[in-house]
Each structure stands twice: as structure tokens, then as C-alpha cells.
């Protein structure tokens, strides 16, 4: 919940320029997605037109259009130019009481509407310190697995958010992050998700220009879910450049 109409235009304009200014950001070697607040979606769509940078929303309703005042339906998001949507972000879980079951319903609704889902999972500090990290991820993933087993693997992205490493002063090493990403991929495969090896797994634990390249070099970390650093075009583009460097090294 940051920004203004003016900031949306200037931030995306600057980022678009840093991404190359053409129809393929960073030469098409990496994919970029931005998810502004609801009121600025159409302005963002206009600012990104022809750029190849994808547009997503930060949440959506579990229901279809109807008598749900204040909610936003998946078809409305598509109408505004969205191709993606975040679901189950740690702040939605912690601050707004979204349960695993609500998140699963939202995932199903988004997939029905043809949106690419970026589903967020992750444990709190208390859960990690009590040895429950893997069981928490298993529970969170378990609710959305039924939807994942019947959809195109390209329509689901999983973002791992170690809540304990966001704004707490504690950090997850690249090796710790990789361990959890590998666990998530194993859970997807065990749950019968087709193409589990190709599903993108993003790391969302305070990714910064300084740590992005080392994180993205891990075998099961396919990119980042960027928070505060995305509010500065220079930082966001530096993270994208780290991803580009890793992608070029893999060619």
C-alpha cells in the first residue's frame, strides 16, 4: 500500500528505461512482473504497454462478481490488463486473517479466470524456532495442491516468504533459502503436480541488490518476490540485472 498515481508513472517509466526500453525486458532473458495497488492498475498497464513487463494485482476475491462490496474479482483484474495475481502474501495472512482455505479458494478462482498465480507460503519466527517450518509449508501447500495438479505448470508460481527474515534483522543464508525451496519442490512432486521441476520458485525474504545474485544462483531459486527494494527503480533494476547475470551464466 505505497505510492501515488504520479509515482506509478515515474517509477515504471524509469524501470522500463533501465530494462532496455524495448518490447523485451533485459533482452527477453528474464521475466519481470510488477504488482501495484488496485487503484493504479490501469495507469500501470498504460505505462507498461509494449514493454513485455507483466502486470499483476496484489490480491483478489475468492468469489466471482456479485454482492461483495469492496472486493475485486479475477475478471476485473484481467479487464484492467493483469496477467498475474499474488495470493496468500504473508501480510494478507497475518494482518487480514486469510486462512489456508481462503487462499486455496482464491487460487482456484484465479486459475479459472486464466490468471497466473503467484502463491505465497512461509513460516514465522516462532514456527521456525519450534522446528515447524517444513510442516507449516506442507500444510500451506497442501491446500492448493488440488488446483495445481489439474493446471498448466506455467500458470502457477510459488513464492517462499520466510516471515522471520523480513524486517526483523534476522537473515536467511542462500543455503537456508535453497534448503526450503528444495523442500517445496519435493512437496509439489510428491503431491502429484505435473512439471514440478519446471514450476518457478521465488524467494521473498528481503531480496536486495547486494544478495540477489547469490540467492538466484541456488539451484531451486528461480527469482525473487521483491518488497521494499521494488519502490526504487535503481534497486529493482539492479536485482533484475543480478537475475540476468545468473541467466546468462546458465546459457
Tell me if residue 161 is catalytic.
yes
Q: Which is catalytic among the residues 89, 98, 143, 181?
A: 89
Enter the C-alpha cell of residue 171. 537473515
Are the C-beta atoms of 189 and 216 separated by less than 8 Å? no
Are the C-beta atoms of 182 and 220 separated by less than 8 Å? yes
CA 224 – CA 242 distance, rounded (Å): 11
Q: Which is catalytic among the residues 98, 123, 143, 161?
A: 161
Number of Cβ within a 10 Å radius of residue 201: 22
Strand partners, 117: 85, 156
Are the C-beta atoms of 146 and 105 separated by less than 8 Å? no
Enter the C-alpha cell of residue 251. 546459457
Active site residues: 89, 161
Amino acid at each position: 500500500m505505497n505510492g501515488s498515481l504520479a509515482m506509478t508513472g515515474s517509477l515504471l517509466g524509469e524501470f522500463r528505461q533501465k530494462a532496455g526500453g524495448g518490447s523485451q525486458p533485459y533482452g527477453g532473458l528474464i521475466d519481470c512482473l510488477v504488482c501495484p495497488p488496485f487503484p493504479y492498475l490501469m495507469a500501470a498497464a498504460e505505462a507498461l504497454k509494449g514493454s513485455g513487463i507483466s502486470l499483476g494485482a496484489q490480491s483478489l476475491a475468492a468469489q466471482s462478481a456479485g454482492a461483495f462490496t469492496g472486493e475485486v474479482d479475477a475478471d476485473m483484474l484481467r479487464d484492467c490488463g493483469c496477467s498475474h495475481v499474488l495470493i496468500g502474501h504473508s501480510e494478507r495472512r497475518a494482518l487480514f486473517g486469510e486462512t489456508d482455505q481462503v487462499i486455496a479458494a482464491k487460487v482456484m478462482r484465479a486459475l479459472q479466470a486464466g490468471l497466473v498465480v503467484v502463491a505465497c507460503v512461509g513460516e514465522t519466527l516462532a514456527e521456525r524456532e519450534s522446528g515447524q517450518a517444513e510442516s507449516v509449508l506442507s500444510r500451506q501447500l497442501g491446500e492448493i495442491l488440488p488446483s495445481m495438479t489439474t493446471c498448466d505448470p506455467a500458470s502457477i508460481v510459488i513464492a517462499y516468504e520466510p516471515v522471520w527474515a523480513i524486517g526483523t534483522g534476522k537473515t536467511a543464508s542462500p543455503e537456508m533459502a535453497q534448503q526450503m525451496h528444495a523442500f517445496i519442490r519435493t512437496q509439489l512432486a510428491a503431491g502429484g503436480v505435473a512439471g514440478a521441476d519446471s514450476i518457478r520458485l521465488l524467494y521473498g525474504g528481503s531480496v536486495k541488490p547486494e544478495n540477489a545474485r547469490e540467492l538466484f544462483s541456488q539451484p531451486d531459486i528461480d527469482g525473487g518476490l521483491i518488497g521494499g527494494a521494488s519502490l526504487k527503480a535503481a534497486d529493482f533494476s539492479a536485482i533484475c540485472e543480478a537475475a540476468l547475470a545468473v541467466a546468462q551464466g546458465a546459457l
